[in-house]
Each structure stands twice: as structure tokens, then as C-alpha cells.
Structure 1
Amino acid sequence: MEPAYRERLGERLGRYEYPAPQPRRLLWLHAVSLGETRAAAPLVAALRAQRPDLRLLLTTSTATGWSAGHALLRPGDVHTWLPYDTPGAVRRFLRHHRPVMGVLMETEVWPNLVHIAAREQVPLVLANARLSPKSLRQGERFAWLLRPAAERFLRVLAQTQDDAQRLRDMGAPFVEVCGNLKFDITPPKALLERGQRWRARLQRPVVLAASTRENEEAPLLAAWRELPQPRPLLLLVPRHPQRFDEVAGLVAQAGFSGVRRSSWGEGDPPEEAARADVWLGDSIGEMALYYACADAGLLGGSFEPLGGQNLIEAAACGCPLVLGPHTFNFAEAAELAVQARAAMRAADIRQGVVYAATLAIDPQRNGWVDRALTFASRHRGATERMAERIVGLLPAVL
């Protein structure tokens, strides 16, 4: 269990040490983890621009989401953990905060949460909604539980037409396609500049393995060993912080010299880091830096049947990606990226490693960079569409 999660366990039970806010004044937004919280940032900004009186009740479910959520807060806002999906915890959460409406991000359909919100007269919107074919099949096994929850959403704002149809099949009655908020995330300029400076100082190609998941790193390192010398620098960034030590051990077991990003703080990489085989990206909130530092990337979560991670941030940073065969969590974005030649597909991790290492030194790499940036910019606009729909459902006065 994450330490921050354990420290505020009472909030997961719907028990709070702060006084109840004024009823029906807060717009509740739930973003489960880091990716959803970062995607929510432009939406929150757009909502505040359209409704300056907005006060936010932000809930998150992970330590990384909690940390990122603080940047979204203003005086008068409330930030707490999402309660466990039990009737008592959810009821206490809703009666303590009395939000005027709830906005749940992406896939957060919790049966008790949705059911009790309806009983407490808290309308819900599912924003940036997605539903993969695999999730739909799994949901159909529990249709008796999930269909009534889907039916209770006031609006569902879907990422794609395919997502919208699957959500309708799940029972959601009012579904509209608005696009993907993650296309509207602007990478921090300071992180991009730092990553580019690091790459220039290295004077060697860099391949990023971005947001890798359990069971992906060992095969990746084995495939990396098969590359001819001199190899690029491998920048390995696990998806979950609690696995940093485990992955550092895998790097050592594979016989590579490794350096942890955290070892040099805010400065530039020292000389010994420049000579290492592998950098372990053991930091939070620096993916834009890592993408900017890399010449090419491998998409974590896509080389095991896990559905892949968000590939849009890589494109916005100008980092061409090699995708594995499993990208069902972002199926349309992945297919569009491949069609736009902003990314390429590999059959397995061994092929992916070869493709990424080759792309990192490809004389035509700048063309891939340009196409990635164009792909990212072409699909912007979901933020304003979703903000307009949500504001249109709010009462005139909060």
C-alpha cells in the first residue's frame, strides 16, 4: 500500500477531520491517478474561465494523482481521497461535501458510487470516457451490476465514436463524442528544454521505455542485450513508483550498469551517468523531460496484454514511438498515430527494441518528429467542448 494512501485512510472510509463545506457549492471532479489528473488540468482551467465562481471538490485514488492534483487547487477548493465503493463510505462522502454535480474521468464507473449519488440527488457526468472492447466484454459478465450504473449518468462525453457505441451498448443513455482531453495537454516548456539539453550533452542516442509495467522489463532488458555494440542509452521509466527498486534490481541482474535519475537532483547528469548503460527514471511528473531527452521510445503496457499507456504525450513532445501489439486502451489514438507515421507497430518486444534502436539513429528521424507534433496538434479541442457541456448542466449560481 502506498504510504500517502495509508496516512489518510479515514478519508477512504468517508470520515473527515475538516468541516463540511457549504452544500451545493462544489463541483466534484474525480481523477483516479496521475494521467487522469493531468488530463483534467486543462478541463479545470476551461471550466474556471467559463465559471469564475467555480469551487472544486477534487478526489483522487493514488499517491501520484494526489500530488498532481494539488496544482489544480485554489482557495475554497477541497481535495480528498475517493471513498471505498461501499454504501456507508460513499454516503458519508456525499453527505459531508454535498457537491452540486460530479464529473468522473475516463472509466471510473463504481456501482455503489453511482447508485448512491442518484439517491442523494448528485447528477453525474462521465468525461473523457473510454471503454475498450475487452472492458465491454468483461462488463457484460456483470451487466446486472454495471448496466444500472451506466444508465444513471446524466451525460457521457466520449473520446471516440467506437467508445461512444460501446458505452451505449453498456447502457449509457446520453452519449456524445467530444474527443480526448489528453491531446490538449501542453508539455511544460522547462521540462522539454531540460530534456533536450541532456540529450545534447550525452552525444549518444537515447531510447526511452516509457511507463513500463510488470513482466515487461525483464524481456526488454534481455532483448536490449542482443543489440550490437555500441548500444543507445536505455532510459527505463516504470509506470508505478513502488516498483522503482524492483526494476533497479532487474537492471543489475541483467548485467547492465545503471544510474537512478534521482541520484543527481535538479542539476544535469554527471559524467558517470553519461557512461551508464541504463538510466532508471525514478521520478514523478517528469515524463515530458524523458520524452524530450529521447530519440525514440517504446510504449509501456503494450508489449504485454495490458492495453498500453497514453501515447499522446509522447507525440506532443516530438518523440516517435514504437508500439507493441496491445494498445486496446487507446485503440483509435494508436491506429491514427500509426497511420500518420508518428508511430510504428512491432509484433513483440524483441522486434520493438530493434525498431526503436534503429529509429533513434535514423537520418530521417526528424520527419518522424514533425509528424508526431502534427498528429498531436491536429486532434486538439476536446477541452472546450467538454467544458461547454459541463457548464451547461450547472445551475446559474453556485
Structure 2
Amino acid sequence: MGKRLPRTLYSAALYALSPLILARIWREQVPTYPRRQRLGMGLDAGLGELPAAPRLWLHCASVGEVRAATALIEALLARYRDHGLLITTMTATGAEQVQALIARQREADRARLAHRFLPLDFPGAARRFVARVKPALALMFETELWPNLLHACRCQGVPVAVVNGRLSERAFARYQRIRPLMAATLSDVTWLAAKSAEDAARFQALGTPSRTRVVGSLKFEIVTNDQPCIDSERLPLESGTRRIWVAGSTREGEEALLLDAHRALRRRYPEALLILVPRHPRRFDEVAALCRREGLAMVRRSDNVPINEEVAVYLGDTLGEMTFYYSAGEVAFVGGSLVALGGHNVLEPAALGRPVLCGPSLENFADVAAPLIEAGVLTTVDSTDALAGALEALFADPVAARQRGAAGPRVIEAHRGALARTLAGLDEFLG
């Protein structure tokens, strides 16, 4: 089967499903971005003016990918000072994460950064987007492999690099069912920087060209500083005697389990406070209602009211403050793991020196979780009772808990190096 036919069939399926796709994307609207940007038009509107050419284009799916790519973004700005950088995301929350990232940069670098929404992968939208942006290099973060966008890059002479390339066993099984399309898509990739040998082997089994290099995970390049710890002292507690744990990036079906564990924990530690941070902003009200139904006194971060002794749950319903929340607790639980969703970034709390707990579903972060588990920083639990027991053990021996947490930054430092290897590979295209 030729390369063109699988992509043609894929595009036909997109057109057939376009009403459903457009309805889904319609909810991600941000007022300063025209909706036609999803069709590769209206690219002059958005966060920041399009940087002057030559420009790089980096695509990150959403919040988690933008966070993981932060070190790479800042390194690209420092290394290629003649280039601007356009960052695209699929989601509005990803756009807000980029906005926070840009706000932290020096003024001279902010002028070289911009954000736009990625167009839907229709052939015409893909061609218009690439023709308007005219990137010197396109960088796809992790598994963002859009057949028509990558083909448009190839047709317009734009090299494509996949950075921090990740392909879980579950994703690999799905892609094997559409192997002709994936082989055609991966043939448009100029260079692939895989985060592990296992990921590289899966990509190559689907048809990746021979130009693949194992560089390690960019997630180990996470950057932290002391400011979040200073900020955490401003948690509005009326009493300073609370025992605090944080559940971050929680998903649907998980919060009820966490509240059960918290209720069990409070039988031994009635002063325990849970900082609960759902992954998606659209679920903030839903989770607040759940807390009320469960009979647990709750206040929301956005309410800006003190946390008195009656409050059992502090709902983190703000964006861009995950480091603040993790810093405020003694122990961190990372969500998306008690439900079968593959987990979220366990390195964020580990980098802050916190002992970390998570559920058994860690497929998306297996490579970074393994050294943390070996060092005793990360512990997996498979039930509500196991979670409550692990929390009780950590609260009962705070010295041992601090020692476990202190190993986190050391593990991260020992596994760094992917950023330097990635930049060395990109030099071939950018000089």
C-alpha cells in the first residue's frame, strides 16, 4: 500500500467526523483567539505577535506537555538567539500554561515567544498553517504525530523533529491497528529523539526512519527554585498545626476514592487537611459538589478565605499553581493513577523534596517512576485502604518521610542529560 492512500482514507474519516470534532474543539475557545485559527487561518491573533523569521515551531498537546517542555523552551531561546519560537497547544489550559511561562521570561525573550492553537489536521488547514508560519524547524513533543501536518511540513521543506518521543505499550497496540497510516506519517519525521530504548523500538516497529536516537527523558530536566516554598507559607491557615497532604492532577472517578482515604486518615489525624487539585478546570465545580455531598467541609482557593480548623479539604481551583500546592504539603499523591489513565508527572513533587504516592496505573511515566521507586521516593498503592495506610505511616514518622523526599532531587539530578543530547541533535538542522 502506498503512502498516499492511508492518509487519504484518514482525511476522509476526519471530514466524516468533522461535526463531532468541531463541537469538541468549540469548547476550547479563548476570546482573544478566533475560532478559524483551528482551520489554519487568523494566525495574527493570539498571545504575542508571531515572532520574526527565522522561527521555530514547538507543539505541545496540553498543560502537562508544556510543563515538561519548559526546560527545552528556555534552552531553545538561549541557544538560538536569532530565532523566534511559536508554541502551539490543542487546549485552552495548555494556552494558559504557555502564557504563564512567557510571563516568567526576560522582556527580550518574551518578544521572541508566541502561542497559537494548533489547527485541526485537515489537509487544507495543515497546508495553510505551515505556509503562514514558515518554520525553520518543527518540533513535536512526545507523541504528537498528526499525519497531514507532518506531510505539509515535508511538502514545504520543513524538517520535523520528534523530541522526548514517547510511545507506551497501550498506544503502540492502538497504532499497530493503523500501521500503514503510522508508517506513512513517521516517514515524514526527519529525526526522532526517543526517551528510552523501548520507546525507540516501538517507533521503529511502526516504521520510523533510521534516524532515531535515544536521549533520555526531558522530564528529568524539570526546573525548580525556592520561591514556591516561600509562597507556600502564605497558605491561608488559621492554625499552623495542620498535617497536609496534596492530591494533584486528579481525574474523574478518583476524587471519591481520595476523599474516602482522607476520611480514614482523619480518624487518626483529625487535623489532617487535603489539598485537592483536579486536572481539568471544567471539573472544579463538579469536585466541589462532590466534597459537599461527602460531608467534608471545604473551601476553594479562588474564594480567598482563611482555612479554619473545621475545613477538611482545600480545593485548588486555580491554574499555574501546581508547584505552590505541592510545596504546601508534607506528602504528595499524583492522580490519573488510581484510575486506568496512565498517571501524571510524578517528578513535579519529587523535585520539591516531597515523598510521593500514586496508584498502580503509571504507564505514561514508567521510565521516570522506576528510579524514584527504587530510591524509595515514590510508593504505589492499589486501593483506598492502602493509600490511607501509606499516609498514616508517613505522618507517623516525619523524619523518615523527609529523608525519603530528600532523595527525589538527587534522583532527578542523576538522570539529567537528555536536554543536552536533544540540543546536540537539533544543531544539525539549526547550526
1:331 to 347, 366, 373: 366
Tell me the residue number matched to 2:301. 261
Contact 1:209–1:298 (Cα < 8 Å) also in 2: yes
> Aligned partner of 1:193: which letter?
I
Q: Distance in 2 between matches of 1:5 and 1:170?
A: 40
Q: Say if 1:91 and 1:242 are closer, same or farther in 2 by CA, change over 3 A.
A: same
Query: Are 1:217 and 2:255 an aligned pair?
Result: yes
Q: Say if 1:196 and 1:318 are closer, same or farther in 2 by CA, change over 3 A.
A: farther
SS at match of 1:226: helix
The aligned runs of 1:260-299 (5 Å cut-off) are 260-264=300-304, 270-272=306-308, 274-299=309-334
Q: Say if 1:388 and 1:350 are closer, same or farther in 2 by CA, change over 3 A.
A: same
User: What do the CA deviations read for 1:130-168 (whole angstroms, capped 9, x no partner)?
Assistant: 111111001101112122112221111111222222222
Contact 1:244–1:282 (Cα < 8 Å) also in 2: yes
2:63 to 19, 30, 34: 34
Tell me the residue number matched to 1:345. 380
Q: Distance in 2 between matches of 1:6 and 1:243?
A: 23
Tell me the residue number matched to 1:69. 98
Q: Say if 1:393 and 1:233 are closer, same or farther in 2 by CA, change over 3 A.
A: same
The aligned runs of 1:108-147 (5 Å cut-off) are 108-147=144-183
Q: Distance in 2 between matches of 1:132 and 1:312?
A: 18
Q: Distance in 2 between matches of 1:308 and 1:334?
A: 10
User: What do the CA deviations read for 1:317-338 (whole angstroms, capped 9, x no partner)?
Assistant: 1111112111000112112211
Query: Are 1:310 and 2:345 an aligned pair?
Result: yes
SS at match of 1:4: coil
1:11 to 25, 37, 42: 37
Q: Distance in 1 between matches of 2:113 and 2:244?
A: 41
Q: Distance in 1 between matches of 2:342 and 2:284?
A: 21
Query: Are 1:205 and 2:230 an aligned pair?
Result: no
Q: Distance in 1 between matches of 2:374 and 2:181?
A: 38
Q: Distance in 1 between matches of 2:39 and 2:385?
A: 45
User: What do the CA deviations read for 1:60-119 (whole angstroms, capped 9, x no partner)?
Assistant: 111222122233463254421100011111111011111111001111111221122212
Q: Distance in 2 between matches of 1:238 and 1:78?
A: 27
User: What do the CA deviations read for 1:358-384 (whole angstroms, capped 9, x no partner)?
Assistant: 313323111112112212222122222
Query: Are 1:84 and 2:110 an aligned pair?
Result: no
Contact 2:150–2:160 (Cα < 8 Å) also in 1: yes
User: What do the CA deviations read for 1:261-303 (whole angstroms, capped 9, x no partner)?
Assistant: 1122xxxx6253x531001011111111111111112220011
Give the superposition deviation at 1:39.
2.3
Tell me the residue number matched to 2:224. 187
Tell me the residue number matched to 2:105. none
Q: Say if 1:80 and 1:7 are closer, same or farther in 2 by CA, change over 3 A.
A: closer
Q: Distance in 1 between matches of 2:184 and 2:159?
A: 14
Where relative contact order (Cα < 8 A, 6+ residues apart) is larger, the structure is: 1
Structure 2, unmatched stretches of 5+, are 1-26, 103-108
Q: Say if 1:208 and 1:53 are closer, same or farther in 2 by CA, change over 3 A.
A: same
Percent sequence identity over matched residues? 36
Q: Say if 1:24 and 1:199 are closer, same or farther in 2 by CA, change over 3 A.
A: closer
Q: Distance in 1 between matches of 2:420 and 2:136?
A: 21
Q: Distance in 2 between matches of 1:139 and 1:93?
A: 26
Q: Distance in 1 between matches of 2:397 and 2:424?
A: 43
Give the superposition deviation at 1:56.
1.1
User: What do the CA deviations read for 1:219-254 (whole angstroms, capped 9, x no partner)?
Assistant: 222333233243421111100111100000111111
SS at match of 2:175: helix
Q: Say if 1:295 and 1:21 are closer, same or farther in 2 by CA, change over 3 A.
A: closer
Q: CA RMSD in A?
A: 2.3
Q: Say if 1:141 and 1:287 are closer, same or farther in 2 by CA, change over 3 A.
A: same
Contact 2:51–2:112 (Cα < 8 Å) also in 1: no
Q: Distance in 1 between matches of 2:251 and 2:169?
A: 21
- Structure 1 range deviating more: 171-180 or 103-112: 171-180
Q: Distance in 1 between matches of 2:31 and 2:377?
A: 38
Contact 1:325–1:348 (Cα < 8 Å) also in 2: no
Query: Are 1:237 and 2:277 an aligned pair?
Result: yes
Give the superposition deviation at 1:304.
0.8
Q: Distance in 2 between matches of 1:198 and 1:378?
A: 32
> Aligned partner of 2:66: which letter?
T
> Aligned partner of 2:262: which letter?
W
Contact 1:157–1:386 (Cα < 8 Å) also in 2: yes
Structure 1-normalised TM-score?
0.91
Question: How many equivalent pairs are there?
Answer: 390
Q: Distance in 2 between matches of 1:349 and 1:91?
A: 50
> Aligned partner of 1:210: which letter?
G
The aligned runs of 1:362-381 (5 Å cut-off) are 362-363=397-398, 364-381=400-417
